[in-house]
């Protein structure tokens, strides 16, 4: 990035720092128009050697290239992320589809009931207000949706999709949230926001009669009206109760149904709503999928639905799983963590633009291979530019490397899908399986140790695999051994779908399926021998043993797949192009530990600043250290109350002490010496020491590490933070 903003004059700064807000600068004109031009420049130069010759230009050209690279990475990111996000949304919709349909049916049934009441009590509907007098007619049909998710913001998408689903079925749908039902805004605000969602023209009087007229004017008496409130627990009880009573008075003219999201239990309306309002509800309970089901679907959508895209390492995946567990199990946080990982990958890995072509293939189902073309485009913008042989080799290597990564990942994905199908019977979660399957330690390069590993050498690669004794993959394999015949048959059928294009495996699977269907003992034994060449033969004498043998063979088949095809992405060359591995960076970006870190900054200021003049072998505080660091470090020896006088004297003593104690002279730079001279004993006047003391205390106060003296204790200040 170019030069700093130090070009701004101090005068400008002086004017601005006292303004509550100010415009630092305005956008450069015609930015968006300039970008396509840059892009065209890149596209037109694909593979052009002329472009490469011009690369020796000055800083401007380099800057232009950097902007181009950022644009390319941004485009690639947008494409890749839109695919991941789309997949995640798609699978979540799929998970909730049954619930949506059940709710829709309930809406239609409730609406029909209201209509039948209207026909029956036509006298009531013709009344001006209140239209309904019969207590049964005044009942509001209410769907209580138990989300079992304490963080309701995580369910925003769920309710948004439900709204869309209902709208597509012809319902009029309005959405209100706890932000509308507050004591501060009151019932009129709720009513206004409710009406605004149906009536687009302006209205002066806020009354439900307007809505009744609007509904009548629509001429579509066949359409139900639905009001969705997604977070009941946070609503103000009195306001919501009043609104319910109001709606119930109008239900014969405005056939509205309530859909209410509950984070806790279905009993919660009793503790929130007034009893009178409760009497006007006719509740019906619905459940959304469990958190585990949703997480499984999400993991599938993100990591497995499509072939190779953006990927994460074992450590990153494990971290994300733990982050999900320890942060209230919110799916949106999990997706956010993945997005941050993706952003960090694209912003730090220059070759990440290669992911663009992979995403396009996934999106459009392209079968051609434009990888070399993209590598060329990339090479023009990076250090690989040039026409010599070594560059050509590097390009070739990159193309072949990526092709290999893609092939290995495809095989890995197939095996994980098989594990996922089998894992459903042992209630193992997909995310757990994924984390284990991504572990590079699952593949061992060392010589086989018969006591620890099960090894099979049926063609393919000579890698060995080791599963943890109590690992999830081991659990899945163990479960297969116990599966009853029909279930195993069902499982093998599911597996068959995943082996498109892998004829060798498909053949072995068919043999297994054949064994399962065949009652002939000898045949079973023969096939078993065929599949497991190295396993010792066993005498099989009864039908139970046949079944046992098939299960054993299925388990061995899965082991064979793991052995030969479950190659974690981190074990393949060039994986760093598509795989994000920096777990610490992700962790730091996701959850800053500001409370701890500010204190660490002060305690380890010398280390962070990297200065040599403050280092003391004895660990004593040096006068050349940052004033606030001296103060904070010296406060650590105090109790919760610090006497200001004593603290000042301590600070003064440190500032006035000789500087050359404990530090070898040869290590000190000239700059350090210069800095030190101003802190020599007797050189610092009292006023400067007091000023430094005041400044340091103010800074500690800004960071919240100190509380100022009270009237009761004017000579003491209080420490606030104790330990990191």
Taking CB under 8 A as the criterion, which residues in 48-107 touch other proteins? Answer: 66, 70, 73-74, 77, 81
Binding mask 346-365 for other proteins (x = CB under 8 A): xxx-----------------
**Cis check: omega of the bond before 328, within 30 degrees of 0:** no
| Segment interacting with other proteins (CB under 8 A) among 241-249, 379-387, 456-464, 587-595 | 587-595
Q: Which of residues 625-664 bind other proteins (CB under 8 A)?
A: 625-628, 638-641, 643-646, 648
Using the minimum distance from each CB to other proteins, give the nearer residue, 102 or 721: 721
Q: How far, in Å, CA of 523 to CA of 517, rounded?
A: 11
**590 is an interface residue for other proteins by CB under 8 A:** yes
Using the minimum distance from each CB to other proteins, give the nearer residue, 28 or 50: 28
Q: How far, in Å, CA of 121 to CA of 149, rounded?
A: 41
Closest distance of CB 76 from other proteins, Å = 12
Provide the terminal-to-terminal Cα distance of the chain, rounded to the nearest Å: 36
| Segment interacting with other proteins (CB under 8 A) among 49-57, 216-224, 425-433, 560-568 | 425-433
Q: Which of residues 602-631 bind other proteins (CB under 8 A)?
A: 602, 605, 608-611, 624-628
Closest distance of CB 177 from other proteins, Å = 11
Closest distance of CB 656 from other proteins, Å = 15
Q: Which of residues 131-170 bind other proteins (CB under 8 A)?
A: 150-151, 153, 156
- At a CB cut-off of 8 Å and minimum separation 6, what does 164 contact? none
Using the minimum distance from each CB to other proteins, give the nearer residue, 527 or 624: 624
Using the minimum distance from each CB to other proteins, give the nearer residue, 169 or 352: 352
Phi/psi for 376 (5° steps) reads -60, -45
Closest distance of CB 599 from other proteins, Å = 7
Q: Can you tell me which of 53, 63, 336, 683 binds other proteins, judged by CB under 8 A?
A: 336
Using the minimum distance from each CB to other proteins, give the nearer residue, 148 or 545: 148
Calculate the dihedral angle through the C-alpha atoms of 378, 379, 380, 386, rounding to the nearest 10 degrees.
180
Q: Which of residues 14-43 bind other proteins (CB under 8 A)?
A: 16-29, 31-32, 35
**204 is an interface residue for other proteins by CB under 8 A:** no
Using the minimum distance from each CB to other proteins, give the nearer residue, 661 or 715: 715
Closest distance of CB 722 from other proteins, Å = 4
Using the minimum distance from each CB to other proteins, give the nearer residue, 165 or 626: 626
Question: Any idea what the Cα angle at residue 79 is, between residues 74 and 81, rounded to 5°?
Answer: 90
Q: Can you tell me which of 41, 396, 596, 683 binds other proteins, judged by CB under 8 A?
A: 596
Closest distance of CB 28 from other proteins, Å = 5
**589 is an interface residue for other proteins by CB under 8 A:** yes
Using the minimum distance from each CB to other proteins, give the nearer residue, 433 or 558: 433
CA distances from 82 to 73, 75, 93, 342, 610 (A): 14, 11, 16, 11, 42
Q: DSSP characters for 471-499?
A: SHHHHHHHHHHH--HHHHHHHHHHHHHHT
CA 325 from chain centre, in angstroms, equals 12
**560 is an interface residue for other proteins by CB under 8 A:** no
| Segment interacting with other proteins (CB under 8 A) among 208-216, 273-281, 363-371, 591-599 | 591-599
- At a CB cut-off of 8 Å and minimum separation 6, what does 399 contact? 371, 372, 375
Q: Which of residues 432-491 bind other proteins (CB under 8 A)?
A: 432
Closest distance of CB 684 from other proteins, Å = 10
CB 179 within 8 A of CB 191: no
Binding mask 311-330 for other proteins (x = CB under 8 A): -------xx-xxxxxxxxxx
CB 350 within 8 A of CB 69: yes
- At a CB cut-off of 8 Å and minimum separation 6, what does 269 contact? 144, 232, 260, 262, 278, 281, 283
Closest distance of CB 436 from other proteins, Å = 13
CA distances from 8 to 2, 21, 555 (A): 14, 17, 71
Number of residues that bind other proteins (CB under 8 A): 130
Using the minimum distance from each CB to other proteins, give the nearer residue, 478 or 691: 691
CA distances from 453 to 446, 447, 449, 646 (A): 11, 10, 6, 67
**414 is an interface residue for other proteins by CB under 8 A:** no
Place of tokens 């006068």: 623
Q: Which of residues 697-716 bind other proteins (CB under 8 A)?
A: 697-699, 701-705, 707-709, 711, 714-715
Q: How far, in Å, CA of 75 to CA of 77, rounded?
A: 5
CA distances from 205 to 91, 174, 191, 374 (A): 44, 19, 11, 62
| Segment interacting with other proteins (CB under 8 A) among 91-99, 202-210, 585-593, 660-668 | 585-593
Closest distance of CB 346 from other proteins, Å = 7
**693 is an interface residue for other proteins by CB under 8 A:** yes
Closest distance of CB 151 from other proteins, Å = 6
Using the minimum distance from each CB to other proteins, give the nearer residue, 50 or 711: 711
- At a CB cut-off of 8 Å and minimum separation 6, what does 628 contact? 602, 695, 696, 699, 700
Using the minimum distance from each CB to other proteins, give the nearer residue, 221 or 690: 690
Closest distance of CB 465 from other proteins, Å = 23
**203 is an interface residue for other proteins by CB under 8 A:** no
**Cis check: omega of the bond before 492, within 30 degrees of 0:** no
In three-state secondary structure terms, 252 is coil
Q: How far, in Å, CA of 72 to CA of 42, rounded?
A: 9
Question: Which DSSP letter does residue 73 get?
Answer: H
In three-state secondary structure terms, 334 is helix
Closest distance of CB 4 from other proteins, Å = 5
> In the numeric block, which tokens belong to residue 688?
């400067």
Closest distance of CB 366 from other proteins, Å = 25
Q: Which of residues 240-299 bind other proteins (CB under 8 A)?
A: 291-292, 295
- Per DSSP, what are the bridge partners of residue 262? 146
Q: Can you tell me which of 206, 210, 521, 721 binds other proteins, judged by CB under 8 A?
A: 721
Nearest residue to 149 (alpha-carbon basis) of 265, 270, 301 = 265
> In the numeric block, which tokens belong to residue 271?
């503790």
Closest distance of CB 182 from other proteins, Å = 11
Phi/psi for 542 (5° steps) reads -135, 170
CA distances from 702 to 387, 598, 599, 697 (A): 58, 11, 13, 9
């Amino acid at each position: 990035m170019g030069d700093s903003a130090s070009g701004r004059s101090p005068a400008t700064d002086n004017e601005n720092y006292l303004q509550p807000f100010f415009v630092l600068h305005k956008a450069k004109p015609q930015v968006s128009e300039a970008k396509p031009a840059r892009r065209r420049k890149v596209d037109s130069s694909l593979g052009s050697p002329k472009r490469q010759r011009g690369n020796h230009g000055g800083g401007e050209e380099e800057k232009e290239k950097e902007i181009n690279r950022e644009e390319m990475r941004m485009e690639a990111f947008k494409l890749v992320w839109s695919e991941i996000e789309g997949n995640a949304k798609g699978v979540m919709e799929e998970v909730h589809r049954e619930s949506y349909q059940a709710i829709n049916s309930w809406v239609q049934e409730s609406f029909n009931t209201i209509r039948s009441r209207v026909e029956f009590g036509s006298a009531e509907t013709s009344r001006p207000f209140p239209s309904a007098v019969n207590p049964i007619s005044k009942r509001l049909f209410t769907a209580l949706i138990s989300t079992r998710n304490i963080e309701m913001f995580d369910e925003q998408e769920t309710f948004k999709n439900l709204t869309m689903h209902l709208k597509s079925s012809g319902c009029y749908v309005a959405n209100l949230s706890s932000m509308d039902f507050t004591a501060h805004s009151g019932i009129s605000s709720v009513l206004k926001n409710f009406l605004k969602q149906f009536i687009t023209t302006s209205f002066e009087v806020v009354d439900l009669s307007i809505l009744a007229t609007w509904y009548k004017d629509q001429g579509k008496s066949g359409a139900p009206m639905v009001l969705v409130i997604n977070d009941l627990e946070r609503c103000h009880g009195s306001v919501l109760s009043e609104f319910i009573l109001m709606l119930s008075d109008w239900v014969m003219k405005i056939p509205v149904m309530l859909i209410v999201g509950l984070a806790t239990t279905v009993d919660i309306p009793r503790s929130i709503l007034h009893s009178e309002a409760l009497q006007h509800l006719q509740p019906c309970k619905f459940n959304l999928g469990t958190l585990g089901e949703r997480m499984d679907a999400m993991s599938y959508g993100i990591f497995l639905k499509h072939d190779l895209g953006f990927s994460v390492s074992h450590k990153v995946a494990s971290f994300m799983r733990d982050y999900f567990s320890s942060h209230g199990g919110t799916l949106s946080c999990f997706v956010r963590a993945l997005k941050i990982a993706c952003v960090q990958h694209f912003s730090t890995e220059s070759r990440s633009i290669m992911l663009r072509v992979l995403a396009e293939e996934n999106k459009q189902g392209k079968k051609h291979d434009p990888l070399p073309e993209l590598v060329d485009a990339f090479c023009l913008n990076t250090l690989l530019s040039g026409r010599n042989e070594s560059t050509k080799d590097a390009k070739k290597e990159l193309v072949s490397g990526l092709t290999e990564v893609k092939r290995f990942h495809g095989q890995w994905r197939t095996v994980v899908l098989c594990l996922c199908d089998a894992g459903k019977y042992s209630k193992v979660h997909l995310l757990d399986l994924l984390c284990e399957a991504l572990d590079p330690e699952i593949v061992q390069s060392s010589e086989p140790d018969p006591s620890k590993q099960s090894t099979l050498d049926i063609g393919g690669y000579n890698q060995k695999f080791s599963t943890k004794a109590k690992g999830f993959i081991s659990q899945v394999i163990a479960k297969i051994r116990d599966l009853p015949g029909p279930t195993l048959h069902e499982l093998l059928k599911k597996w068959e779908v995943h082996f498109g294009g892998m004829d060798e495996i498909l053949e072995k699977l068919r043999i297994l399926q054949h064994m399962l269907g065949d009652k002939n003992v000898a045949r079973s034994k023969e096939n078993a021998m065929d599949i497991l060449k190295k396993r010792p033969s066993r005498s099989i004498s009864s039908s139970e043993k046949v079944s046992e043998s098939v299960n054993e063979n299925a388990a061995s088949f899965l082991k064979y797949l793991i052995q030969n095809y479950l190659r974690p992405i981190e074990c393949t060359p060039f994986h760093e192009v598509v795989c994000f591995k920096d777990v610490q960076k992700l962790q730091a970006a996701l959850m800053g530990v500001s409370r701890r870190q500010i204190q660490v900054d002060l305690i380890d200021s010398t280390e962070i600043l990297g200065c040599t003049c403050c280092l003391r072998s004895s660990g004593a505080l040096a006068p050349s250290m940052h004033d606030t660091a001296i103060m904070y470090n010296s406060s650590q020896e105090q109790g919760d109350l610090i006497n200001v006088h004593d603290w000042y004297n301590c600070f003064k003593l440190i500032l006035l002490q000789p500087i050359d104690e404990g530090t070898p002279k040869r290590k000190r730079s000239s700059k350090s010496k210069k800095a030190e001279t101003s802190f020599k004993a007797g050189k610092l006047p009292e006023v400067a020491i007091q000023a430094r003391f005041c400044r340091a205390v103010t800074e500690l106060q800004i960071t919240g590490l100190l509380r100022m003296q009270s009237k009761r204790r004017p000579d003491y200040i209080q420490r606030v933070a104790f330990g990191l």
